[in-house]
Chains A and B, each alone.
Chain A
Amino acid sequence: MHFNDGLAQLAPLSIAIPIVVACVMLSIGQRAPRVVVDTVAVAGATTVVGLDAALFAGSGGRVINWVANWLPGGGHPVGIVLVVDRIGAGVALLAAILMLLALIYSARYFESADAHFQCLMLLFLAGMNGFALTGDLFDMFVFFELMGAAAYALTGFKVEDRSALQGALNFGIVNSLGAYITLMGIGLMYARTSQLGLAQIGANLDHQRPNALIVVAFIFIMTGWLVKAAAVPFHFWLDDAHAAAPTPVCVLFSGVMVELGLYGVLRVYWTSFAGVIPASDMRRAFIVLGAVTALVGSVMCLAQRHLKRLLAFSTIAHMGLFMCAAGTMDASGTTGAAVYVAGHAGAKCALFLLAGMVLNRYGSVDEAALHGKARDARVPATLFAIASLALAGLPPFATGLGKAIGEDALSADGYWFGPVLFVAVSAMTGGAALRAGGRIFLGLGPRPRQTEDSAAEEETPETTQRFGRRSASLVGPIIALIAGCLALGLAPSSIHAIGGGATRLIDHAGYLAETLRHAHPTVAHDPTAIDWTTTGVVLGLVSALLAVGVAATGWYAEAVRRRLRSVLAPFQRGLSGMRALHSGHVGDYVAWLMVGVVVLGALVGLPLR
C-alpha cells in the first residue's frame, strides 16, 4: 500500500494552507501594518511552493491520498481522492511560484490598508492547486469555481476603473456559464456511471461503445475547461479580463490559469474517457481547434496597440499551439506542450510585469501614445527585448525547446503544417511584442497616428505612487522569470522529469490501477529523447529572425502599406470584421459560447456515428 504515506499528506496541505493563511490575513488585515500583511502572504505562498516542489520531486509514481482514509469499498461507498502525478504537481508548482513572484511584485502595489488583495490571491492559489491535484470530477468543478470567483473579484479589483468592471463581468458570466454546462455534464456522467471519481468513471466506461449520452456528457464537461483554456470561440472573455486586470493578476491568468483549462481537458479525457472515445477522434478536434485558436490569436495580437491586450491575444495564440502539441495525443507531443507552458509562463509573465512597470511610470500602455517616451529606461528595455525574443522561441529558452518538441511531434504524426504554424505564430506574437517594445523604449519608426479607438481608451493608474527606477521588488521577479525560462531550456535533463510526467498523464490504465487497485507504480521510462535537435534550433532561430522582421515591418512599413492600400484592402476589411467580433458585449460572448458547444459536439461526436 503506497497511499496516504508521508508525501501524500502534503497534498491536502498545499490546498488548505493558502485558505488558512487567507483567513488569518482577513482577521489581522485591519490592524496589522502593511508590511506584516505582505510578509504573511509571501510566507504563505513560499510554503506552498515548498510543498508543491516536494510533491513534484517525489511524484515519480502517483501520490494518492484518500482524504481521511475514506476508501471506497472499505465500508464506505464514497471517498474523495487526491491523485498527484508529475504534471499535476508541476502545474501546481508553477502556480505557486508565479503567485510568490506576483505577491513580491505587488508588495508595494495597492495602498489599501486591509488585506483583501493578498487574501483573494491566496484563495485563487488554493483553487488552482486543488484543481491540479484532485482526482475527483466534482471536486474539479468546485475548485474551478473557487478559482473562478477569486479571479473575477481580482479582475474587477480596481472598482473605479470602467474597463476593469466590464472585463470582470464578462469574465464572470462567460466562465460561470461554462462551469454550469460542465456541471450538467458531470451530472449526466453520474447518472450513467454512479461515480464521481475520475478513475471510477474511467473504469466504468472502459470498453463501452460511445453512445449519445457519453458523448454529450463529455462535450459538456469539456466546455467549461475549454472556456478557461480560451479556445476559439470560447476565448472572448480572455482579452477583456487580461487588458483590465491589475498586472500581478495578469501574470497568474496568462501564466497558469488559462493553461489549467487545457490541463483539465487532458486530465479528464485521459483518465475517464480514453477507454471509450478514441484518441484519433480527439486528435482531430484538438488540432482543428488549436490551429484556429493560434491563427485568430496571433492575427488579433498583431492588430493591437494596447500593450496588455496585445500580450493577452498572444496568450490565446500560444494556447492554440499548446492544444496542437497536446493534440497529437502521444507522449512526445504532451511533453512538448508541458515544456512550452513552463517556458511561456516565464517569458509572458516577464512581459506583463514590464508592462506594469511602464504603466506605473508613464501612466499608459498604449504603444502609440508611449512612442519614444521610455528612452531612458535601459534595464527594462533590455529585459523586454530578451523576453520578446524568448516568446518568439529563440534557443536556448525553454519556449524554443517546447516549440521544437511540439513541432517534431506534429510532423512525426504527419501534420506537415505543424512546424509552419508554430514558426508563424511564434514570429507574429514575438514580433508584435518586439514592435511595441521598440516603439516604447527606443522610439523606432515614425510615431503612429492616434486613432479614435485607441485614444478613447483611458487607463486608470494601478498605483498611487511612482516607484523608484530600479526597485528590486519590481525588477527582481522579472529577472527571476526570464532566468527560469533560460535555465529550463539549458537543462534538458531536468525536463526528463516533465517527459516522465507526460507519459503518466496519458497513461489511462496505470492511473486506474494505482488509484483503484493500489497497484504498484510501473517504472516510468523516458518516453522520448528530449534534447535540442538541429531542426529545433534552426526553426527557433528562424522564428526569432522572422519576429524581428515582423517588428521592423511594423516600425517602418507605414509608407509601403499606404502604397499597397488597394491590395491590402480585403485583408483590412477581414481584420476589422474580426476586431468587431471582439465587441466587449457579454451577450455576444454567450452566443459564441453556445456556437462553440455545437461546433465541439460536431467535431467530436459526428465522426463517432
Chain B
Amino acid sequence: MSYYGYFVAGAIMLTGAVGIARSRNLVHAVVCLSVSQAGTYVLLLSIGYQRHAAAPVFGSTIKPSTKVVDPVVQALCLTDIVVSATVTALLLALSLQIAKHHGTTDPDELSALRG
C-alpha cells in the first residue's frame, strides 16, 4: 500500500488553506477553497484505489468477480463535488456583490466588520 496519495492530498489541502490566509482577492480566496477541497477528492480516490483494478461498472466485459476499485469512495467524491459546486457558486456570487457594494475585492480593505 502506498502512502503517496495521502501526502499529496494533505499537501493540496494545506496549499489551499495557506492560499486563503494570504489571499489579496476574494475570487482568489474562493478558488483556493476549491483547491483545498480538491485535496479531499484525491484522498477519497486514493483510499479506494487498487492497482490493476477496473472501474466499478459491471457489464459484458467486467464480471462481478473482477477486481474493481471501491465504488463507495467514488460516490462520496461525487457528492462532495456537488456540494462544492453549490458552495463555490454561492461564495462567488457573494464576492461579486461585495465588489459591487464595497468597491474592492481585497479582504485587507473590507472594513464593515471589526471586533
In the complex, chain B residues whose CB is within 8 Å of the CB of A186: 76
In the complex, chain B residues whose CB is within 8 Å of the CB of A269: none
What 0/1 pattern do residues 12 to 43 of B give for CB contact below 8 A with A?
01000100111100100110010011011001
In the complex, chain A residues whose CB is within 8 Å of the CB of B23: 586-587
Inter-chain contact A184/B102, CB cutoff 8 Å: no
CB within 8 Å for A169 and B111 given contacts A180-B37, A190-B72? no
Inter-chain contact B17/A187, CB cutoff 8 Å: no
Task: Find the residue from B95, B108, B110, B115 having the highest chain A CB count within 10 A.
Answer: B115
Does B107 lie at the interface of the complex (its beta carbon under 8 Å from any beta carbon of A)? Answer: yes
Does A376 lie at the interface of the complex (its beta carbon under 8 Å from any beta carbon of B)? Answer: no
In the complex, chain A residues whose CB is within 8 Å of the CB of B76: 138, 186-187, 190
Inter-chain contact A180/B13, CB cutoff 8 Å: yes
Question: When chains A and B are docked, how far (Å) is the Cα of A162 from the Cα of B39?
Answer: 32
In the complex, chain A residues whose CB is within 8 Å of the CB of B95: 169
Residue of B nearest to A236 (CB): B115
Question: When chains A and B are docked, how far (Å) is the Cα of A274 from the Cα of B104?
Answer: 48
Inter-chain contact B47/A142, CB cutoff 8 Å: no
Inter-chain contact B13/A176, CB cutoff 8 Å: no
In the complex, chain B residues whose CB is within 8 Å of the CB of A300: 115
Does A243 lie at the interface of the complex (its beta carbon under 8 Å from any beta carbon of B)? Answer: yes
Question: When chains A and B are docked, how far (Å) is the Cα of A160 from the Cα of B97?
Answer: 8
CB within 8 Å for A190 and B40 given contacts A138-B76, A165-B94, A173-B30? no
Selected contact of A586 from candidates B20, B101, B112, B115, CB within 8 Å: B20
Residue of A nearest to B80 (CB): A183
In the complex, chain A residues whose CB is within 8 Å of the CB of B29: 173, 586-587
Inter-chain contact B20/A587, CB cutoff 8 Å: yes
CB within 8 Å for A584 and B94 given contacts A184-B43, A187-B40, A591-B21? no
Question: When chains A and B are docked, how far (Å) is the Cα of A176 from the Cα of B95?
Answer: 15
Task: Find the residue from A159, A186, A239 having the highest chain B CB count within 10 A.
Answer: A159
In the complex, chain B residues whose CB is within 8 Å of the CB of A152: 87, 90-91, 94
Inter-chain contact B113/A240, CB cutoff 8 Å: yes
One of A198-206, A473-481, A530-538, A575-583 contacting the partner: A575-583
Does B86 lie at the interface of the complex (its beta carbon under 8 Å from any beta carbon of A)? Answer: yes
Does A78 lie at the interface of the complex (its beta carbon under 8 Å from any beta carbon of B)? Answer: yes
Does B52 lie at the interface of the complex (its beta carbon under 8 Å from any beta carbon of A)? Answer: no
Residue of A nearest to B109 (CB): A585
In the complex, chain B residues whose CB is within 8 Å of the CB of A545: none
In the complex, chain A residues whose CB is within 8 Å of the CB of B44: 183, 187
Selected contact of B40 from candidates A165, A184, A585, CB within 8 Å: A184
Question: When chains A and B are docked, how far (Å) is the Cα of A142 from the Cα of B81?
Answer: 11
Inter-chain contact A172/B90, CB cutoff 8 Å: yes
Does B114 lie at the interface of the complex (its beta carbon under 8 Å from any beta carbon of A)? Answer: yes
Inter-chain contact A579/B87, CB cutoff 8 Å: no
Selected contact of A177 from candidates B20, B43, B86, B94, CB within 8 Å: B20
Does B69 lie at the interface of the complex (its beta carbon under 8 Å from any beta carbon of A)? Answer: no
What 0/1 pattern do residues 398 to 416 of A give for CB contact below 8 A with B?
0000000000000000000
In the complex, chain B residues whose CB is within 8 Å of the CB of A148: 87
Residue of B nearest to A597 (CB): B17
Residue of B nearest to A593 (CB): B17
Selected contact of A165 from candidates B37, B83, B98, CB within 8 Å: B98
In the complex, chain B residues whose CB is within 8 Å of the CB of A453: 114
Inter-chain contact A187/B47, CB cutoff 8 Å: yes
In the complex, chain B residues whose CB is within 8 Å of the CB of A11: none
Residue of B nearest to A172 (CB): B91
What 0/1 pattern do residues 69 to 101 of B give for CB contact below 8 A with A?
000110010011001001100110011011001
CB within 8 Å for A187 and B20 given contacts A169-B95, A173-B30, A240-B113? no
Does B68 lie at the interface of the complex (its beta carbon under 8 Å from any beta carbon of A)? Answer: no
Minimum distance in angstroms from A392 CB to a CB of chain B: 23
What 0/1 pattern do residues 591 to 605 of A give for CB contact below 8 A with B?
101100000000000
Inter-chain contact A584/B111, CB cutoff 8 Å: yes
8 A-B pairs closest in CB distance? A582-B115, A584-B113, A579-B115, A163-B112, A162-B112, A191-B47, A587-B21, A591-B21
